[in-house]
Homo-oligomer: A and B are copies of this chain.
Amino acid sequence: MVLTAPRHMVLVAGIVALLAVPVAALDDPGPLAVAKQGSFFVGGREVRSDTLSTVPAYAPIGTITVDQMYVRYQIPVETRGRPITLIHGCCLTGKTWETTPDGRMGWDEYFLRRGHAVYVIDQVARGRSAADPSVINSVKLGKTPPNRLPPVFSAGHEAAWAIFRFGPEYPRVYPGMRFPLDAIGEFWKQMVSDWHDALPTPNPTVSALSELAIRLDGTVLVSHSQSGIYPFQTAALNPRGIAGIIAIEPGACPDPDADLAPYMKLPILVLWGDYVDLSPRWAPRLKECQAFAEAVNKRGGKVEVIELPKLGRRGNSHMLMQDSNSLDIADWLLAWIDRNIGKQTTK
């Protein structure tokens, strides 16, 4: 190391640490004090292939690593609660939780400013977590039939419109909609191809989440949509390190008739936005989650299913972490965590 800091600079850093009180969301929230930040991977396995490439500059034969999960984290100077792990949904990446399409603060930074370490992941085979192109190249080379290509899909704007519940069908809008539709073009840019259907069940993201939770020694797993079932599957795999589960509009809740033991001791919240009863895709899923909650609670567990309209918060889409009242919902979630999981951290 070439640089060393004079002693007074180190002292200044100490003063910053003392003064860096997280400031609530203002128009200008002031500087952010970060104790530590960085990124790493959890999980991963090696795959040997002879169709890694059809490009002359890169050899077809070799070993690659896949099924690892990218994690970016920031730890605040003053920790006032459990680490929060943010798990995005279908056709999206960890970008979901960052700056909103219309440029407002994302939950990743807001939770940090409110005293939580925040871990944002990219699901396996999505974003900065590698996918395996071997079959694509094998088909290109005529070694494998085309129907065995991985079902890599992208959600089109038109179909995604109703899935994200901006309105009943593209381009109609539900009255009172809080999603920043003026910036919808920026939201579409967040969407990426999804390899989910080409991966085994449970998704390898689940074992990576378990490894992460154990490393964090007590984290709140916050899922969204497609990833809704992952924290439950993670708890079933190993309860260690999971302080609680918040499932935001999950694509699925566990079957109420299945083994419910993994969920009996966990604080669990299932959160829904508005217009759910108007959506043939989402209304049955809400009902399934209600049945799951009833089954767990009947046996002494603690699952809450909350519909935001019943709290007086109307107009929320499926992307409620990006809606115009996203930080109000974040505040409500943090209060729920305080009440149900506790303020202290084990780290």
Contacts and interface: CB of A to CB of B under 8 A. Distances in A.
Contacts of A157: 46, 62-65
A205 interface: no
Interface residues of A, number: 99
Given A33-B33, A128-B122, A128-B192, A186 B41 contact: yes
Contact of A159 (B58, B156, B192): B58
Copy number in this complex?
2
B192 A54 contact: no
B155 A191 contact: no
A256 B4 CA distance: 41
A198 B30 CA distance: 43
Contacts of A99: 38-40
Contacts of A147: 140, 142
Nearest to A38: B99
Interface in A94-147: 94-95, 98-99, 103, 105-106, 109, 122, 127-134, 136-137, 139-140, 142, 146-147
A7 B183 CA distance: 32
A15 B41 CA distance: 36
Contacts of A189: 41, 44, 65, 68, 130
A14 interface: yes
Interface string A30-46: 11111101111100101
A133 B195 CA distance: 10
Contact of A149 (B37, B41, B122, B139): B139
Contact of A128 (B65, B94, B186): B94
Interface stretch (A16-24, A242-250, A288-296, A339-347): A16-24
